[in-house]
Every structure is written in C-alpha cells, then in structure tokens.
Amino acid sequence: EAGVTQSPTHLIKTRGQQATLRCSPISGHTSVYWYQQALGLGLQFLLWYDEGEERNRGNFPPRFSGRQFPNYSSELNVNALELEDSALYLCASSSPEGLAVNTGELFFGEGSRLTVL
Amino acid sequence: AQSVAQPEDQVNVAEGNPLTVKCTYSVSGNPYLFWYVQYPNRGLQFLLKYITGDNLVKGSYGFEAEFNKSQTSFHLKKPSALVSDSALYFCAVRGPYGGATNKLIFGTGTLLAVQP
C-alpha cells in the first residue's frame, strides 16, 4: 500500500513568489493535515482538510492557503513568500472519523523542503 | 487548550544503556497520546500510541511508553539503546474526536544521541 506522497521534494523560490506543494493521502484516507517544520520551531499545525472542506486552521497568515480535491489529494499554496517561510512542509493523512480503523494517529509523507532566497 | 511539553532538547545515552525521553501533556478530557520519530531529512514515523487501557504501551523498534495520568506524563523508554536509535523524537497529543480539537499538537522534539 502506497504511503502519503508529497511533491516536490525540494523547491527553491525567491521572496515575493508563490509556492505550491502537493500531497496525496493514503488510499481510503479522507483527512489531510499540513504542518510546517521550521528550524528550531518544531512542528506547527497549518491546516486540516476533510471531505473537501477546511476544518481547522493554525495560527498562520492568510497567504497560507490550500484546498482538497474530490480525490482527497491536497495542495498548499504560500503566496508572497518571505524568508522565514523556509521550512520542511509535512503532509499527513488519516482515515475517516468514526471508523474503527481510525485510532487517531496521522501518517506522514517525507515532506517538501521549501527554500526562500 | 491542549499542549505537550518535551523538557529536554537533547538526551545523550551510551549504547546498551536504558533511555528515557520525557513528555508531559495538558488536554481537556481523556488524552490521545503519540510518539513519533524523525530521521534526518525524513518525514515522521509513528512509534506508538495511548488511547485507553493498559498504561504501558509497546511500540515499534523495542520502544515503550508509560502513561501516568496523575503526573500527566507519557515518557518514552527503551531498555537498551542502539546507535541507530539516534534521531529526533516528538510527543504529540490530541483531544477527543470532533470539532477543532481534531489535530495533533506536537512537542518541540527531543534529539536522542546514542554514543557507541
């Protein structure tokens, strides 16, 4: 069974540009989560999508946005890039709520490393 | 609001010795607690979880964790450390299902360094 896949693996942008990161969840998973892992700041929750809708959002400015497609894949967009947006962006998925198979853990991809110059 | 604390930025241990990585949590209601490991330039790998039941939880790679409700702790342990255990370890907590609490909140991570 394929795990969570993220693309691109690495992305280099300059200040003011836009970045788009993509994530495909594990088959059968309907929830997708995005986390930012910046150096020295641990894992910060960005966004949670479930069944195509944004369910929750972390403490990030509006230039961080995303969406979830009908096939449950997801896209994270970062507009007007700033130097401090340089980080590893991790996507995770989980199975639908309420199902016995959902015991709470998230399954992570390998991440997309964004570098802003 | 739910939160988790990992008081140690780094833990050093000699190979073959027991290791403990500490975690304390704060959450309303019964906690769901998790440990993840991250190797350099990789994503997070799930190690173990506590949802309910036995306070001692066994997980992958010989790791275990003990849930202590009175001390609100969920320390990660291993009887005999390996050099290959050297990695970044994250503790995470989530509240009960539903609504805005349906996400994992991570600690800041503890770097485990096992010396040969």
Chain A residues touching chain B at CB-CB below 8 Å? 4, 31, 33, 35, 41-43, 45, 48, 55-56, 90, 92, 97-98, 103-111, 113
CB B92 within 8 A of CB B104: yes
User: What's the average model confidence in pLDDT over A75-94?
Assistant: 96
> In which band, very low, low, confident or very high, does the pLDDT at B2 lie, cut at 50, 70 and 90?
confident
What tokens were used for B93? 């907590």
Residues of A in contact with B42 (CB under 8 A): 110-111
Give Cβ neighbours of residue A52 (< 8 Å, ≥ 6 apart): A68, A69, A70, A72
Q: What is the pLDDT of residue B71?
A: 94
Please answer yes or no on whether A33 and B104 come within 8 Å at the CB atom.
Answer: yes
Q: How far apart are CA A14 and CA A114, in angstroms?
A: 10
Contact of B111 with chain A, judged by CB distance below 8 Å, is answered with: no
B67-108 confidence digits (pLDDT tens): 999 999 999 999 999 999 999 999 998 865 555 556 788 999
Q: What is the pLDDT of residue A102?
A: 64
Sign of CA dihedral B68, B74, B75, B80: positive
> Which of A55, A105, A110 to mutate against chain B (most B CBs within 10 Å)?
A105
Give Cβ neighbours of residue A91 (< 8 Å, ≥ 6 apart): A4, A6, A21, A23, A25, A32, A33, A34, A35, A74, A76, A108, A109, A111, A112
